[in-house]
Amino acid sequence: MLARHQDPIVAIATAPGRGAVGIVRVSGKGLTALVWALCGRALKPREATYLPFRDARGEAIDQGLALYFPGPHSYTGEDVLELQAHGGPVVLQLLLARCLEAAAAPDAATGQPCLAGLRVAQPGEFTERAFLNDKIDLAQAEAIADLIDASTAAAARSASRSLTGAFSAEIHGLRDALIHLRMLVEATLDFPEEEIDFLRKADARGQLSNLEHTLAKVMQRAQQGALLREGIKVVIAGQPNAGKSSLLNALAGAELAIVTPIAGTTRDKVQQTIQIEGVPLHVIDTAGLRDSVDEVERIGIARAWDEIAAADAVLFLHDLARWDCADYRAADAAIEGALADKLPTTVPVIDVWNKVDSVSAATVPGAPQRPSVALSARTGQGLEALRSVLLQVAGWQSAPEGVYIARARHVQALQAVQAHLAEAAAQLDARGPALDLLAEELRLAQNALNAITGEFSSDDLLGVIFSSFCIGK
């Protein structure tokens, strides 16, 4: 544990701005003297007390509730004091300053500072201490931030499920089964070569197969959880006046982008996050793709290609009202070739045939090998079909009730576990298995699992994770 983790800390724990209630939180060891200095009395543990909060001259700053949680029965595992006052920013700053002032002042009984070394907390430091004091594991700590940042109701429910330990329980189950298998392999290493059938009698291969099967199910749920948290970036691309801005407006249900009959109206990207069945989709409208002599439009087109190159999925919009024009089809073919050059093969392209309301059904081209939707951005016809296709290409499979929130690093760690277990299976299936290599693969798999919940984590990783939290958390 770093030296700074021993310091007592204080911070405003509620969001910036005005509100009905604001909270100043203190965490550290031995807060009794500070409680007397701030409240003028002792506080019963875990019982709200209504009293005035006074400055050094004895004048009331505000009146509110004080709550004292002796460690280890607190959020951080240390002694915690919460002052709940009116939520004005000036009042809370005065309370924060008073906490720092009272901590440095000498205690009447001992002559020592009431709480030496009290400082303002860094982002996420209260939750970091909860993790370091074994109140929560790392996956639960991340779930707290994900619950605060949730952009959809489904994401919030999934983050709450992770916070209660659903994801961690899955990881611990995998780890315990892996430890048991490692124990068998390590024990076998101590036997002579003629006793190698010890692993077969213990059904080590069956245990490994069960591990791989369970891991596959956990990975599927984790990938769904990561999708709920991160969403996907969807870029609308196509020629000018194909209806890109109209499609963005239709998907968002609001007039976000300017729509006119003038080609080249959209000069820069317009972005909106929508949700479909709780999955956030970051939809970006871009400038129409064509050759242009207008310098501003050319910059917009270059930015459009940058967005397309970074997309998770591309909606290639075609104008059915102009599909009979050879020049229009040729320009679409040129865009098609550019997409093939600039996009990885793993990025799905969805053909969207717009303005279906203005043509006969026979005009809509037959479905190609990739996903295709015919719609009208003006009337809304076909939008539900497009939403379904977007969920499909995003990889959404599960109902939100069965998913816990997960992050990209969790998915990457599980993929590493999968690779190590596959290598372990190859070693175990070999005619003369190298048991030392088998044991090493299982050890690496366990390390990858431990990194998810924090049993094995570097200080650098902790710094990155908790720095993304708000200061009062």
- The answer on whether 472 is annotated among ligand-binding residues is no
Cα–Cα distance list, 328 to 44, 241, 325, 333 (Å) = 77, 11, 5, 9
- Flag whether 242 is marked binding: yes
Q: Is 140 exposed, middle or buried (0-12, 13-18, 19+ CB in 10 A)?
A: buried
User: Where would I find the beta strands (DSSP E) of 213-269?
Assistant: 232-238
3-state helix, strand, coil in the chain (%, to 5): 50, 15, 35
Does the annotation list 188 as a binding residue? Answer: no
Task: Check the annotation: does 244 bind a ligand.
Answer: yes
What radius of gyration, in Å, describes the C-alpha atoms of the chain? Answer: 29
DSSP assigned state of 375:
-
Whether residue 300 is annotated as binding a ligand: the answer is no
473 is in an annotated binding site: yes
* d(C-alpha 422, C-alpha 185), whole Å: 16
Sheet arrangement for strand 313-319: 270-276, 279-285, 232-238, 313-319, 349-354, 372-374
Task: Look at strands 232-238 and 119-120 and give their pairing.
Answer: unpaired
**CA quadruple 465, 466, 468, 473: dihedral positive or negative?**
positive
Q: Is 76 annotated as a binding residue?
A: no
Q: Is 263 one of the annotated binding-site residues? A: yes
306 marked among binding-site residues: no
3-class secondary structure, 123: coil
CA proximity to 229, closest of 409, 107, 353: 409
Per the annotation, does 82 bind a ligand? yes
Is 243 annotated as a binding-site member?
yes
CA distance 178 to 444: 11
Cβ of 306: how many Cβ atoms within 10 Å?
A: 14
Residue 260 is assigned to a ligand binding site: yes
d(CA 312, CA 406): 18
Tell me: is residue 246 an annotated ligand-binding position.
yes
Q: Is 346 annotated as a binding residue?
A: no
45 marked as part of a ligand binding site: no
Residue 1: partners with Cβ closer than 8 Å, 6 or more residues away: 132
Scan for tokens 């599960």, then name that residue.
398
Distance CA 86, CA 47 (A): 19
Please give the Cα distance from 248 to 181 (Å, whole number).
Answer: 53
Q: Annotation-wise, does 162 bind a ligand?
A: no
288 is in an annotated binding site: yes
Tell me if 453 is assigned to a ligand binding site: no
Binding region for (6S)-5-formyl-5,6,7,8-tetrahydrofolate:
25, 82, 135, 473
Q: Which residues are annotated as a binding site for Mg(2+)?
A: 245, 266
Sequence ranges of the binding site for GTP:
241-246, 260-266, 285-288, 376-378
* Annotation: binding site for K(+): 241, 260, 262, 265
- Residue list, annotated binding site: 25, 82, 135, 241-246, 260-266, 285-288, 376-378, 473
